Amino acid sequence: MQFDKPATTNPIDQLKMVGKPIHRIDGQLKTTGRAMYAYEWHDQNTPYVYGYPVGAAIAKGRVKSIDASNAKKSTGVLAVVTTLDVGNLEKGKFNTAKLFGGAEIQHYHQAIAVVVAQTFEQARAAAALVKVDYEEEAGIFDLRAAMASAAKPDESTEPDTAVGDFEAAFKSAPVTLNESYTTPDQSHSMMEPHASIAVWDGDEVTVWTSSQMIDWWRTDLATTLGIEKEKVHLMSPFIGGGFGGKLFLRADAVLAAFGSKAVGRPVKVALPRPFVPNNTTHRPATIQRIRVGAERDGKITAIAHESWSGDLPGGGPETAVNQTRLLYAGANRMTAMRLATLDLPEGNAMRAPGEAPGLMALEIAIDEMAEKVGMDPIQFRIVNDTQVDPEHPERPFSQRNLNGCLTLGAERFGWSERPKTASRREGNWLVGMGVAAAFRNNLVIPSGARVKLDREGVVTVETDMTDIGTGSYTIIAQTAAEMMGVGIDKVAVQLGDSRFPVSAGSGGQFGANSSTSGVYAACVKLREAVASKLGFNSQDAVFENGQVRSGNRSVALADAAGDEALVGEDTMKWGDLTKTHQQSTFGAHFVEVGVDGATGETRIRRMLAVCAAGRILNPITARSQVIGAMTMGAGGALSEELAVDTRRGFFVNHDLAGYEVPVHADIPHQEVIFMDEADPMSSPMKAKGVGELGLCGVSAAIANAIYNATGIRVRHYPITLDKLIGELPDVT
C-alpha cells in the first residue's frame, strides 16, 4: 500500500482498541521471567559454551601479533579466534568503524579476539592471558583542539542552510545574544548489554541477538561473514533497551558467529558492561554557537546555530542544528555543521540524535533571549511561533501545536507562581522553575507485515518489527484487533524474526507509526481475502465482534477462515506527504528544581511534559516512553558525561559506577499530558512518534530552572556541583 494522500476515515478511527490504555500484552512474560532475552535462548539439549571478548588496549594503530598460547592452555578453553586469524573482513554498510578482523585498530576496545570456554569464568580468565603486541599511532581525541580543523561534512547531511541576510540582520538587531554551549559524549547505557547466541547449521547461521533493526543487522552480518543474506537467520523478540545503541550490528554477534564456527556448537557472547561505552557507539559531544537577534517586541529577526562534533573517518556529524531550522520564525537565518576527525569510538545515533543535544543548547539560548527582551519565556516562544517551515515557507507543518502545549502546560504546572530569578528560598534550598520547547521530526519508514486468520478466529501478526521496551507488541495487537473486529485476546503478535516481513524496526521514533501502518496495510489485504472468500464486497463488509457482516448476512470470522488459514501480507510505503508538508512533533517541558544553597546539589522536584504528537496509540505505553525520556533528560542535564582521556583516546568512566544515570531517588513527580490530535498527513493511523520527543528539551528546562533558582547560567553540560558552587548566592 502506498500512502500518498491524507488519510480519510478508516476502521482505525473507531478507536475501540487503538488509543485505549491497554496494558502490555508481553508484560506477564517479562514480569515472570519467561520473556527470552538474547543471552537466554539456549536449547537445553544442545550444550552451549561461552565467548568472552578481548578489546584493543590502544586507540589507534595496528596489532603486530597476538600470542594466545597461554589462553588456549587455560582450563576449559575450547578455542581462541583472533582478529588476525579471520583476516580482513568486509565492513557492513551501517557501521563506520569495523567490528572485527584484520590488524588495523580504529578505536579503543575494538574487538580483537574472542575466547570460547566451557564456562563464563573460564573464558573471562583466559581472555586476560591473551598477549597482544601493538604498533601504536598518535590519534586525535580532543574535540575542542580539533575544532579548527573541522570540515564541512558530506552534503547528504545538508551541512549549511541560509535564508535572508543573517549577518546584517543580527548586526542591526536591538537585542542580541551570542553564546557557546557544549554537550558531552553520552552513552546509551541500556539495561541489557549487547548479547548474542550463534549456532551454525552447515553454511547457515542462526543468531539470537538484541537488535533494534533486524534487516540492517542481517544484511551487515552476512556481509561481515561473507555469506549470502539468505543464510543468516536473526531472532530478537525481546530487547532490554537500545536507545540507538542497537541500531547497527555490533561485535557480540560477529564474535559469537566466529566462536561458534570454531567450536561447532552454540556460543553466547555478551559484551561485559565496561566494553559498552568504548566498543559500541555513543552520542558524540558537541560545541554549539548560537546567535539570536530580536526586536524589542520580542520578534526574532535573525537566528544562527552552528555546531561542531567529531567522528572517525567516514562518520557523520551530530546534527544538532536540525531543530533550529524549523522551530522558530525569523526572516534571516543560518545553520552550519562542521565535523572534526576524531579517533575516539564511533559516534552515532542515540535517542533523538540531533535534536536532543541541539535543544540542550537552543532552549537555554531562548530562555536567555526572553530575559533580554524582558518577556516571559513562554510568551517569547509563542510570539516566535511559525506554522510553516521557516527555511521553505511554501511548506506548512502538517500539524503544529507548540503554543497549545506551552499554554496548557503553564496552566497545569502553575507557571504563574514562577519566582523572580534567585528569589525563592525554602530553608537552604533555592527553588526555581524552568520551561523548554520540545521538538522532534516525525520520520516514516517502509514497514511490512503478514496477518493470518485461523479457524479458531485467532489473528496472528508476523513482522520483523522489534519491541525495545516501547510497547510494539501491544500497539500492533491493538491495530490488528481494530482492523479485524476482534478482541485483543484473539490476536497473537510475533516479532523480531528475520523470516517475517521486513518492518521499519525501532529507531528515530518512527517505529510505532510506521510498523502499525504496515500492519494496517496487511489487515486491509486480509479483510479483502475474507470478504472475497465469503462473496462479500470488501468495501461495505463490516468487521465487528468477531463477525463479518454485509447487508443482512453475518458470518463468524473463524468460519470464514475454515481449515485453510487466510493470509494478508503487505508493506506500507510512503509517498510525498513528508516533502509537501513538514511533519514534526511538539511539546513543552516544565521542571521545578531545588538547588542546595551550600553544596550546589540539584534535586528535581516536579516534571511535566505536554506532547502534541498525533494520535496516541496507547496512552499507557506512550506515557511510559515519555517519562523514561524525561528521566534520560534529567541524566543529561545533571550527571551523564563520558570522560575523555585525551592522551590515550578512550572513555574513562566506562561502567555504570562512573557513568551516572538517574536512579529512582533522583526522579520525583512526573506528569505527562497528550494533546488530543490525529494527523491525517502522517499515516492511516494518524499517529506520530513520541518516544524521542519526550527527551527533547528536558535538559534545557532543567538548566533554565537552575538559573531561575540560583541566577547562575550554566551553558556546559552536565550541570554538576562544581559549576554552581563558586557562584551560589548567599542564603544565610
Is the distance from CB of 107 to CB of 611 less than 8 angstroms?
A: no
Q: In sequence order, what are the residues at sequence separation of 6 or more whose Cβ sits closer than 8 angstroms to the Cβ of residue 526?
A: 451, 452, 453, 459, 483, 484, 566, 567, 568
Q: Residue from 349, 361, 495, 661 that binds ligand MOS (CB under 6 A)?
A: 349
d(Cα 528, Cα 545) in Å, to the nearest integer?
18
- Whether 609 contacts 671, CB under 8 Å: yes
- What is residue 637's three-state secondary structure? helix
Angle formed at CA 190 by CA 186 and CA 195, multiple of 5 degrees: 120
Rounded (5°) CA angle 674-677-679: 135
Instruction: Note whether 310 binds ligand MOS by CB under 6 A.
Output: no
Q: Which positions from 213 to 252 touch ligand MOS by CB under 6 A, shown as an x/- string?
A: -----------------------------xxx--x-----
Task: Give strand ranges (E) for 582-682.
Answer: 584-596, 602-612, 644-645, 650-651, 669-674
Q: What are phi and psi of 672, to 5 degrees?
A: -130, 130
Could you say whether residue 635 binds ligand MOS (CB under 6 A)?
A: no
* DSSP percent split of the chain into helix, strand, coil, nearest 5: 30, 25, 40
The yes or no reply on residue 101 touching ligand MOS (CB under 6 A) is: no
Catalytic, 692? Answer: yes
Residue 476 touches ligand MOS, criterion: CB under 6 A: no
CB of 356 to ligand MOS, least distance (A): 9
**Which listed residue (295, 306, 692, 727) is catalytic?**
692
What cell does 692 get?
A: 524521542
Q: Measured from the CB of residue 96, what is the shortest distance to ligand MOS in angstroms?
A: 15
3 state SS of 93: coil
Contact region with ligand MOS (CB under 6 A), list: 104-112, 348-356, 584-592, 597-605: 348-356
Minimal distance, residue 353 CB to ligand MOS, in Å: 5
Does 505 interact with ligand MOS (rule: CB under 6 A)?
no
When asked if residue 347 is in the footprint of ligand MOS (CB under 6 A), the reply is: no
Are 112 and 66 in contact, with CB atoms under 8 Å apart?
yes
Q: Smaller CB distance to ligand MOS: residue 81 or 350?
A: 350
Is 293 a binding residue for ligand MOS by CB under 6 A? The answer is no
Q: Which CB sits closer to ligand MOS, 409 or 508? A: 508
Binding-residue total with ligand MOS (CB under 6 A): 11
Other Cβ atoms less than 10 A from the Cβ of 157: the count is 16
Using rule CB under 6 A, residue 271 touches ligand MOS: no
Quickly list H helices, 322-389.
355-373, 377-383
**Residue 508: CB minimum distance to ligand MOS, A:** 4
Closest residue to bound ligand MOS by CB = 244
Residue placing its CB nearer to ligand MOS in the complex, 74 or 463 = 463
Cβ proximity to ligand MOS: between 401 and 585 the closer is 585
| Interface residue with ligand MOS, options 508, 628, 635, 684 (CB under 6 A) | 508
Nearer CB in complex with ligand MOS: 301/517: 517
Q: For 183, list phi and psi in degrees, rounded to 5.
A: -125, 140
Q: Which of 74, 212, 279, 478 binds ligand MOS (CB under 6 A)?
A: 212
Q: For the CA atoms of the chain, what is the radius of gyration? A: 27
570, 524 in Cβ contact below 8 A? yes
Pick 240 or 508: Cβ nearer ligand MOS: 508
The residue (of 74 and 472) whose beta carbon lies closer to ligand MOS is: 472
Rule CB under 6 A: choose which of 350, 438, 548, 638 binds ligand MOS.
350
Catalytic residues: 692
Give me the residues that bind ligand MOS (CB under 6 A), please: 212, 242-244, 247, 349-351, 353, 507-508
